[in-house]
Chain A
Amino acid sequence: MVGVFLCSCGTNIAGIVDIDVLRDCFLKQGHEVEDHLFLCSQAGQDLIKKTVREKGLDRIVIASCSPKHHGGIFKDCVGEVINPYMWEMANIREQCAWTTLDKDKATQKAKALITGAIQRVQHHSPIGSIDVPVLKRIAVIGAGIAGMHASLELADKGFEVILVEKEPNLGGNMVRLDRTFPTDDCAMCTISPILNDVMMNKRIKIHTMTKVDKFEGRPGEYRLTLQKRPRYVDFLKCTGCGACGKSEVQASAPTFNLPFMVDRIRISQENCTMCGACFKACLHGAISQVEKKTIPLYDRTKCVGCWKCREACKFEALQIINVCPVVVPSEFDLGLGYRKAVFVPNSQAVPLKYLRDPIHCLKLNGTMDCQGCASVCGPGAILEDDSGETLDILVGAVVVATGYQEYDLSGTEYHIDNPNVVTGLQLERLLSPAGPTGGKLVRPSDGIVPRTVTFIQCAGSRDIDRKEYCSKICCMYATKNARLIKSDHPEIDVKVCYTDLRAAGRGYEEYFDKAREMGIEFIRGQVGEVVPHGDRLMVKCEDTFLGRPIELPSDLVVLSAAMEPSIGTIEMEKLVPLVSGKDGFIAPMHIKIAPVDTTTMGIFICGTAESPKPIQECITDAGAAASRVASFLGNDAMTVDLVTAYIDLDRCTRCGKCKEICVYDAIREVDGQFEVVDISCRACGKCAADCPTNAIDLRFNDDIQLESSARGIMQVDKDSIIAYSCEQCGYNAADLAGTAKNFYSTEIKIIKVPCSGRVSLAHMLLPFEMGAKGVMLAACLEDQCHYIDGNKDAKKRVELAKRTLDIMGIGSDRLQFFNVSSAEGDKFVQAVKKILNDTKED
């Protein structure tokens, strides 16, 4: 016996659906039936609770409005008297009374929907919940502007933060920038206080030169294994004094054309008395005196930097000009400057701690017993050996802020091998006062100030063969750099070849207008090729306004290269159960309503790891991520309703299908057996739809519940078309059609499913076995599935089922799939009309 509660909803339902007929019908079947003018009212709720208590009911059907409307109210009401999952709602308002004016048909449809609900609720079981403890500590991966801001926000909220950065210094790409749009303020000035705050904050523990090596655990308790690269310099002892970094290397142009090794010692001809003391003191044969009373000769390849010669010289004729003789292109300056084998990435690096590069360091790579840096280091920070460190950390949540990198354009029509073709970030270094030229804009090839600078936009972006997406920030940063050049050097001819200029943002349009006023030439031009032109370059492009080819002779070409996920981001996608979008960036759980959540609970994203975006958006993201983390870890434990999937281990053949299907990493393999991680499971049911052995199923919305709904409906009305509609979109669209009184046939009977991907092939075919006229699936819009790709799975399954229906002579037209958003009530009605038309019987 089931308690059936019928709501009249004033005249909303009772005006069309004959409540008396329904009452008689279900009374006759032996159920306990009550009705009320407004079940949702306090009196209505009291009626439900009183009836349940008095009659000792253990399952209930409430036939009223859409569960999306008052489902919550009734769940609370039911939950006061029985388990809050022991009821089912039949939507006889939005999806019945409001879809037709035909009273008989509406009553008949209501009967079918309620029967479906009655049959379904017989298979409901009480559902409990579990408390899962969470750790109030967060790992933030990536210490760029987004990661740092998120760390500070979290620390401010009282959480302990572990900030992991694979580079030796914090700041990511932003510390490379000269100035930032739309205010033209100095990037370093903006970020410096943040860098210092992060360094000083007691709740933030920083691990530089560190990457995540292993990732395991569950939401609320993730275990990360961190691998710290050796610095070969004692982090605590190094004061950043720079004694080891002493260098007198001069580059004539910011193109790397330096010898690999330079002299450490200069012998002053003036002071040298040719006494030979230095020659005698040198134990390594680096100083030689051809004959007495000649100036000694110095051999840089033999000098080990012991400085004995210098101590021996009484006349200060020997001067240390380079402590480390090794010269390597600077990674920080993107190859435009140089560094030593013992170095800091840049002079303002935070933390300002030196490190040694084991590949180039003469001591570490075994070339010689070099003592250069060690013998000048006052605090004795230079380490003989350093094997790095491996550490395990336990955290409750993870924020991934691993950022972007510039797309590699080598080997393309842009001829990036030419030194005078640079990327946007390289230009930042050329413009930066802390950069290799000290902020002087010169041609890398020869150090001459360029006469013409041409910017090429969308280099690699908005290109079907490369990166299909727009990199979003290039229009603005190219405009910014063009303006900076123009204002410092009005004589330089600055041109920008663009595809479309996108200046959407506060103050952006004004900023761009100003650039135009300054005399920067914006050409809507599709660049075909950049070719050498004497010692200059020729940019060949098509003026897409005039449709004619133009050639732009240039001294410096700046490519606004596409932004792509950084190596770190790609590594995280492999290591952590994250879903990557087809652009390669980490996909958020929902692009609109959950932009910093990922598919894996407890893992959040911010900054350009998610998509190309300007700094201010990175900050917004980071704040949002911190806020989401705080909500997630707010309590000591999370309460999870066990509506999740479960696995029958005897049935499970360990085929691994469910694990592959699950985008939430909710299915883990432990000792060769699969298990569901309850707090990760979102109960979408995609796994259950595809498990060949029936070993996995949901506790709520399981196979038999969905089947029973269909059976109940079909038993009442053989002419039904069953419409499996996803809870996220299809069902709402149908509700909307009803609310708008956008009528459609009462043959359509909607069954709510968590995701269209929950609907198995058997669910699709079952109504046909019972003689149904048709079956339709209403899923979220393509690429907008709330469970990432459930609608794609469903679509594939529909294709398979269609083939079978054809073979069986039932006809594939009777099974239709369509994508619809929550807002598209009319589209739902159109889809209904189509299937009715396609299945018309003569």
Chain B
Amino acid sequence: MERSCGGVEGPIECTTCKKCSLTCPAELDIPDIIRLYRYQESPKGSHRGLFLLTQKMMARSDPEPWLSTELDTEKDDVYYFPGCLPIFDDLLGWETNYKRAGNAGVALLNHVGISPKIIYGCCGHDLYYSGNLDHFNVLKARLKEKIQGKVVVGCAECYHALKNLHGLDVVHISELLGGRIDGPRVSWSKVTYHDPCRLGRYNGIYDAPRSLLGSVSVLNEMDNSKENSLCCGVSAWLNCNSASKDNRVNRLREAVATGADNLVTTCCKCRIHLDCVYHEEQYKGDPQKIPIVDFQEFIADSIGIKVPESATGFSNKGKRLQVLDLTDDLEGHLLSTSVDNLFNCTTCERCREECDFEFNPVEVVEDFRRTFVSEGWNPEPHGKIVERLKQTGNVFGDEEKVIRSSRATSHVYFPGCVAVSRRPSLMTDTITILDALGVDYEIPEGLVCCGSVLKRTGHDASFLMEQNRRAIAGRKVIASCAGCYATLAKNYGDIDVMHISQFLEDKLENLNLKSIAARVAYHDPCHLGRKMGAYDGPRYLLGKVPGIEILEFRDSREEAVCCGGGGGVKSGNRDLANSLGRKRMEEAVCLNVRAVVTSCPFCELNLEENGSIPVLDIVEIVAKSLKGEQL
């Protein structure tokens, strides 16, 4: 099998914090794509791969019962899953007692009259997210045998893994204890609460821990909390790096700024990674020290429950691990996620804006799509597009060639398939303006589709690119379409290209523009805005047209919502494209504008199809103004 993913560091460095998924217009499960990517790459993991290795071992080992023997256990039909805590105490190399969290958890359960059965072992969370899916499946089968009932967990990762990945009946200890714990008997202290991604964004559990903390302490929130909570910076032991460190330092500064005495969290990993900052040899007092405390321990200590010491004295004779005969089942794993998930991405890059590490999931999506295409798992309509392009060089299979040839010119006008076949008015208006300005240009023979659609959907576009390079012949290119512009600029690498809105920016003074009295809303095309960073240019140009009043969408510029048509979604999943387009147009209705203006014919196509308000290109507005027409 061809493994095309490679060379992109982002998917390994991603913390899978899920911030991006929460803003994705198509609600893509991006972490799911990431873990599959990692399955192919077998990343090593920080700490020289140590903790991924121990997890692989834990998937097959039978750990010793390390919780305190003083605790009351094994009487009720409820399970408690303390997780991997002793491994971290043993191997991190600095003095810790993370095990105490597990003892505190059971002590709390005992306090409310529960004597749980204890399941020692690993939840497999890190195996899953590091892409060690075969090991994970071994563990999954073993846990399924061991656990037949409700499991209580105190760790966010265990919660997410057992509940969502193993499909078990899981309750977080904060949910279980809610209402069963009374106020502090020791003293009130100020705390702040760090939302672990796995409990918060993954499972929406924001309030249960807070309400319990509120009943025993004074809770101060950090600047970024709940959905916006900053990630602790590392997940699945993969992404310890300088960016992650900066993130952790920022998080700790936020915590210190709340004036809290303790930073409480319910994830052992968050604790470790935040603690780590303080254990660095070069730590010199910034960020200030704040104790990072486990939720279970904090509650137990606050109400004065004794937390007993862990058991010791394990046998130094033991069993060797069974050798695991793993079969490489990429196909099985890849198809375990829905192909739709991958092909529903509009490549709008909204996710990139959200990422604290400036990582671009779209690159992974496109990379992955190549794998799928090579296996023939791509949506059927995409295949048809490829056929059409191979035959005609036009996305829509339009045989008609638009050629406006003159001699050797300084510029090439690149109208793009949409303008040629679906929005000829844009092309003719552009030609009108270019002529009015006396620009020396041609639409040369042999110009074909820019290849964007192929690139975005995981196909090979080199045959188109070669043809275009020949036709352009090193001249400056003016493009109508945001998609063509971004592709020519980023994928070709050797083309000097401008979007028409940029080209016209300093030239409207030379035209005799007449007033158009209208309120319009400007929609940022993803490939012009987020992809190429052109936010102000089109607005400036539009503002030059006398009489035009520009209103902004609620989500605009970097946060603009996609029209829904990009990335092959328009052809591959028309329903999704339509519903996204409708959403955007409903917003426009609320703005009470005469028209929606944008600078990408593809956006125009999808938006217009899904709304009642006219959708126009900036160029069309300029042309109307030039001709003295109104909207």
Contact residues of A with B, CB < 8 Å?
649-657, 659-660, 688-695, 703-704, 718, 760-763, 765-766, 768-773, 800-814, 838, 841
23 CB-based A-B contacts, threshold 8 Å: A651-B242, A652-B241, A653-B280, A655-B280, A656-B280, A657-B280, A692-B276, A703-B49, A760-B48, A762-B47, A768-B321, A800-B93, A803-B86, A803-B90, A805-B318, A806-B316, A807-B63, A807-B66, A807-B314, A808-B57, A809-B318, A812-B316, A812-B318
Cβ–Cβ contact B63 & A765, under 8 A = no
Q: Which residues 233-249 of B sit at the A interface, judged by CB distance below 8 A?
A: 240-245
Of all A-B residue pairs in the complex, the 9 with the closest CB atoms, nearest first, are A811-B318, A656-B282, A656-B281, A655-B280, A653-B245, A771-B323, A806-B314, A808-B61, A803-B90
Bound CA–CA A266/B144 (angstroms): 109
Cβ–Cβ contact A807 & B316, under 8 A = no
Bound CA–CA A392/B154 (angstroms): 61
B281 cross-chain contacts in A, Cβ below 8 A: 655-657, 659-660
B62 at the interface (CB under 8 A from A): yes
Q: How far is the CB of A647 from chain B (nearest CB, A)?
A: 11
Count of chain B residues near A, Cβ 8 A: 41
Bound CA–CA A151/B40 (angstroms): 63
B244 cross-chain contacts in A, Cβ below 8 A: 653
Q: Quick one: which of A691, A800, A809 contacts B91, CB cutoff 8 A?
A: A800
Bound CA–CA A73/B317 (angstroms): 45
Cβ–Cβ contact B319 & A692, under 8 A = no
- Known contacts A694-B48, A768-B57, A771-B322: does B242 contact A809 (CB below 8 Å)? no
- Interface-central residue, A654, A771, A806, A813, by most chain B CB under 10 Å: A806
B50 at the interface (CB under 8 A from A): yes
Q: Which residue of A lies closest to B245 (CB)?
A: A653
B387 at the interface (CB under 8 A from A): no
Bound CA–CA A506/B127 (angstroms): 69
Cβ–Cβ contact A651 & B91, under 8 A = no
- Interface-central residue, B53, B62, B244, B276, by most chain A CB under 10 Å: B53
- Main DSSP-derived SS at the B contact region: loop
Q: How far is the CB of A696 from chain B (nearest CB, A)?
A: 10
- Known contacts A807-B87, A808-B61: does B317 contact A813 (CB below 8 Å)? yes
Given contacts A703-B49, A807-B86, A808-B57, could you give 20 more A-B pairs where the C-beta distance is less than 8 Å? A652-B241, A655-B280, A659-B281, A703-B44, A761-B47, A762-B48, A765-B54, A766-B53, A800-B91, A805-B318, A808-B58, A808-B64, A809-B63, A810-B319, A810-B320, A811-B315, A811-B317, A813-B317, A813-B318, A838-B317
B56 at the interface (CB under 8 A from A): yes
Q: Which residue of B lies closest to A688 (CB)?
A: B48
B44 cross-chain contacts in A, Cβ below 8 A: 694, 703-704
B322 cross-chain contacts in A, Cβ below 8 A: 771
Contact residues of B with A, CB < 8 Å?
44, 46-50, 53-54, 56-58, 61-64, 66, 86-87, 90-91, 93, 240-245, 276, 280-282, 314-323
Bound CA–CA A781/B323 (angstroms): 35
Cβ–Cβ contact A692 & B321, under 8 A = no
Q: Quick one: which of A704, A765, A841 contacts B53, CB cutoff 8 A?
A: A765
Cβ–Cβ contact A801 & B91, under 8 A = yes
Cβ–Cβ contact B46 & A694, under 8 A = yes
Cβ–Cβ contact B317 & A692, under 8 A = no
Cβ–Cβ contact A769 & B321, under 8 A = yes
Q: Which residue of A lies closest to B241 (CB)?
A: A651
Cβ–Cβ contact B53 & A804, under 8 A = no
A703 cross-chain contacts in B, Cβ below 8 A: 44, 48-49
Q: Quick one: which of A688, A771, A807 contacts B320, CB cutoff 8 A?
A: A771
Bound CA–CA A806/B311 (angstroms): 12
- Interface-central residue, A659, A804, A807, A814, by most chain B CB under 10 Å: A807
Cβ–Cβ contact B50 & A760, under 8 A = yes
Cβ–Cβ contact B58 & A689, under 8 A = no
A762 cross-chain contacts in B, Cβ below 8 A: 47-50, 53
B47 cross-chain contacts in A, Cβ below 8 A: 692, 694, 761-762
B314 cross-chain contacts in A, Cβ below 8 A: 806-807, 809
A812 cross-chain contacts in B, Cβ below 8 A: 316, 318
Bound CA–CA A770/B58 (angstroms): 12
A802 cross-chain contacts in B, Cβ below 8 A: 316
Cβ–Cβ contact A689 & B48, under 8 A = yes
- Known contacts A659-B281, A694-B46, A771-B323: does B61 contact A653 (CB below 8 Å)? no
Bound CA–CA A807/B83 (angstroms): 12
Bound CA–CA A660/B86 (angstroms): 27
- Interface-central residue, B44, B244, B318, by most chain A CB under 10 Å: B318
- Known contacts A653-B241, A660-B281: does B53 contact A769 (CB below 8 Å)? yes
Bound CA–CA A703/B64 (angstroms): 30
B86 cross-chain contacts in A, Cβ below 8 A: 803-804, 807
Q: How far is the CB of A304 from chain B (nearest CB, A)?
A: 54
Bound CA–CA A650/B243 (angstroms): 8
Bound CA–CA A691/B282 (angstroms): 13
A841 cross-chain contacts in B, Cβ below 8 A: 320
Bound CA–CA A657/B47 (angstroms): 12
Cβ–Cβ contact B315 & A806, under 8 A = yes
Q: How far is the CB of B468 from chain A (nearest CB, A)?
A: 35
Cβ–Cβ contact A761 & B319, under 8 A = no
B64 cross-chain contacts in A, Cβ below 8 A: 806-809
B54 cross-chain contacts in A, Cβ below 8 A: 765, 804, 808
Cβ–Cβ contact B323 & A650, under 8 A = no
Q: Which residue of B lies closest to A655 (CB)?
A: B280
Q: How far is the CB of B70 from chain A (nearest CB, A)?
A: 19
Bound CA–CA A772/B321 (angstroms): 8
B93 cross-chain contacts in A, Cβ below 8 A: 690, 800
Bound CA–CA A153/B58 (angstroms): 63
Cβ–Cβ contact B316 & A800, under 8 A = no
Cβ–Cβ contact B280 & A765, under 8 A = no
Bound CA–CA A812/B64 (angstroms): 13
Cβ–Cβ contact B57 & A654, under 8 A = no
Q: Quick one: which of A654, A771, A800 contacts B90, CB cutoff 8 A?
A: A800
B48 cross-chain contacts in A, Cβ below 8 A: 688-689, 691, 694, 703, 760-763
Bound CA–CA A773/B319 (angstroms): 9
Q: How far is the CB of B35 from chain A (nearest CB, A)?
A: 20
Q: Which residue of A lies closest to B240 (CB)?
A: A693
Q: Quick one: which of A649, A770, A808 contacts B63, CB cutoff 8 A?
A: A808
Bound CA–CA A703/B48 (angstroms): 7
A760 cross-chain contacts in B, Cβ below 8 A: 48, 50
Bound CA–CA A768/B320 (angstroms): 7
B320 cross-chain contacts in A, Cβ below 8 A: 768, 771-773, 810, 814, 841
A808 cross-chain contacts in B, Cβ below 8 A: 54, 57-58, 61, 63-64, 318
Q: How far is the CB of B73 from chain A (nearest CB, A)?
A: 18
Bound CA–CA A772/B323 (angstroms): 9
Cβ–Cβ contact B240 & A809, under 8 A = no
Q: Quick one: which of A651, A660, A806 contacts B240, CB cutoff 8 A?
A: A651
Q: Which residue of B lies closest to A652 (CB)?
A: B242
Cβ–Cβ contact B315 & A653, under 8 A = no
B63 cross-chain contacts in A, Cβ below 8 A: 807-809
- Interface-central residue, A657, A660, A804, by most chain B CB under 10 Å: A804
Bound CA–CA A650/B320 (angstroms): 38
- Interface-central residue, A651, A704, A771, A773, by most chain B CB under 10 Å: A651
Q: How far is the CB of A684 from chain B (nearest CB, A)?
A: 16
Bound CA–CA A805/B57 (angstroms): 10
Bound CA–CA A689/B91 (angstroms): 13
Q: How far is the CB of A796 from chain B (nearest CB, A)?
A: 8
B321 cross-chain contacts in A, Cβ below 8 A: 768-769, 771, 810
Q: How far is the CB of B102 from chain A (nearest CB, A)?
A: 12
Q: How far is the CB of A770 from chain B (nearest CB, A)?
A: 7
Q: How far is the CB of A839 from chain B (nearest CB, A)?
A: 8
Q: How far is the CB of A773 from chain B (nearest CB, A)?
A: 6
Bound CA–CA A56/B31 (angstroms): 44
- Known contacts A655-B280, A655-B282, A812-B316: does B241 contact A650 (CB below 8 Å)? yes
Bound CA–CA A768/B318 (angstroms): 12
Bound CA–CA A766/B321 (angstroms): 11
Cβ–Cβ contact B46 & A692, under 8 A = yes
